[in-house]
Amino acid sequence: MTRTKNTTVCVAGGGPAGAMLGLLLARSGVDVVVLEKHADFHRDFRGDTVHPATLQILDEIGLVDRFHELPHQKVPTIGVVQDGRRIDIADFRRLRVRYPYMAFVPQWDFLDLITAEAARYPAFRLMMRTEAVDVLRDGGRVVGVRARGPEGELDIRSTVVVAADGRHSAIRRAVGVTPRLIGRSLDVIFFRISRRDTDPDEGICVRIGNGKIFGATDRRTYWQMSYETTAGGMAKVIAAGLDAFRADLAAMVPFLADRVHEVASYEDLSLLEARIDRLDRWHQPGLLFIGDAAHAMSPVAGFGVNLAVQDAVATANALVAPLLRAQRTGAAFDHSRLAAIQRRRRLATALSQGLQRATQRFGIDDALNGSGQPPAPKLFEKLAPAQWLMSRIIGLGFRPEHVRTPAASPAQTEGTRG
């Protein structure tokens, strides 16, 4: 017999969007269950960038000091190396913000911090190794999810279901919706190379030349490397062989030439098949999609985590008051409020995806097909306003959100337990 649990909000997915939303709801007293299908948050080559806008949100909820206690790096600039010369395309120190840098922290540490804070509130429950596999319906409205975990199947009935389960969303499949492809696919191959104290202080840097693009991100003890290529690029790497790949790496990033042997096998390479897509409609009665489940991003500019967190903040700001009213009094929840979240976040999402498409079309594609060096980086060097604008777009986004929800002490929160 399938077990049943009742809550006010069920969030499918414990990534940045789901974890942040769970915290914001619970700290305001909204009973919330967050489902995470894995046993922990340890996945390699996930988005580890925490933008100035996200740091500001952490400040607003009192977590920024604890965040800075985590092992992290502060990176104030993003650069491109062309013809052997570095050009900064973004410098966050030009912004009038409290945190003028991008912070790099393992995503599992970030999620552990968020969920540990959320767990202080009795209204919060995180269920690991539990995946939402279907939705529960009552007439034309979603009223919960069917989940599968270590103890078998579980029906979680809720006022609202939030699908934050990523670009391969199980909830999307369950309700039969498909995102619209916005941008052409790009393959990104990730790998690691050890870092030495004598290495240059590059922070984040992309190297372009000879029809190749290698990215390097300083992770203190190692370089997180990326190799951008067209769709199907991994097959081309395999066909050419690892020796050719290592030779390209040595030529493009000369200070790593004596360490390219650390890419010892194809198992050291991790493929991300990136695509840019977006749902035309992010909501149904009782159901809301946010983060990558609503709009998958490419790795360009690292927008994904920041947009996911912004979605979570906008969702909490819009829903806490009516959800608390429904939870405490039994009043009907107005499901039209879900549409307001899409209206608020749609333009910022579309503009971010448009910038990624333009970057790929006029920068990455030209670099990969060997038609020449993309001209945009030199534009940022010559025009200070262009660099300031790019710094703002990457660092803050097109519509930064701020936490407007009330914060109760853990002892004051309340929730429905079932």
Instruction: Work out the average pLDDT over 115-138.
Output: 96
Q: In this predicted structure, what is the pLDDT of residue 1?
A: 65
CATH number for the domain harbouring residue 24: 3.50.50.60
Q: How confident is the model at residue 42 (pLDDT cuts 50, 70, 90)?
A: confident
Q: Which domain holds residue 138?
A: 3-69+104-181+277-359+401-412
Q: Is residue 329 part of a domain?
A: yes
Query: Is the pLDDT at 45 greater than 60, yes or no?
Result: no
How many Å apart are CA 392 and CA 371, to the nearest integer? Answer: 30
What's the 3-state SS for 37-102? CCCCCCCCCCCCEECHHHHHHHHHCCCHHHHHCCCCEEECEEEEEECCEEEEEEEHHHCCCCCCCE
Residue 18 CA to residue 13 CA, distance in Å, equals 6
**Distance between CA atoms of residues 132 and 156, nearest Å:** 9
Question: How does residue 410 score in pLDDT terms, banded at 50, 70 and 90?
Answer: confident
Structurally, the chain folds into a number of domains equal to 1
108 found inside a domain? yes
Quote the pTM value. Answer: 0.90
For 309-344, write each residue's pLDDT tens digit. 999 999 999 999 999 999 999 999 999 999 999 999
Q: Are 401 and 109 in contact (CB under 8 A)?
A: no
In a domain, 365, yes or no: no
pLDDT band at 2 (very low <50, low <70, confident <90, very high): confident
Strand ranges (DSSP E) for 129-219? 131-138, 141-149, 152-157, 160-163, 180-194, 204-209, 212-218
Q: Work out the mean pLDDT of the chain and round it to a whole number.
A: 90
Q: Give domain status of residue 173, yes or no.
A: yes
DSSP letter string, 240-290 = H-HHHHHHHHHHHSGGGGGGGGG--SGGG-EEEEEEEEE-S--EETTEEE-
Residue among 105, 43, 34, 98 at smallest CA distance from 68: 105
Q: Is residue 24 domain-resident?
A: yes
* Residue 15 CB neighbours (<10 A): 26
Least confidently predicted of 42-51, 216-225, 246-255, 304-313: 42-51
Residue 170 falls inside a structural domain: yes
Identify the band that residue 256 occupies on the pLDDT scale cut at 50, 70 and 90: very high
Domain assignment of residue 298, yes or no: yes
Whether 414 has a pLDDT exceeding 60, the answer reads: no
Q: What is the pLDDT of residue 277?
A: 95
Of the pLDDT bands very low, low, confident and very high (cuts 50, 70, 90), residue 185 is low
Q: Which residue has the tokens 């909820």?
A: 61
CA distance 151 to 180: 36
- Per-residue confidence (pLDDT) for residue 39, from 0 to 100: 82
pLDDT of residue 46: 65
- Determine the average pLDDT of the residues in 181-191: 84
| Residue 349 within a domain | yes
DSSP string, 309-337: HHHHHHHHHHHHHHHHHHHHH-PPP-TTH
Q: What is the mean pLDDT of the segment spanning 348-358?
A: 93
The predicted model gives 271-278 an average pLDDT of 88
Where does the pLDDT of residue 404 fall: very low under 50, low under 70, confident under 90, or very high at 90 and above? very high
Q: How confident is the model at residue 416 (pLDDT cuts 50, 70, 90)?
A: very low
Average pLDDT over every residue of 166-193: 92
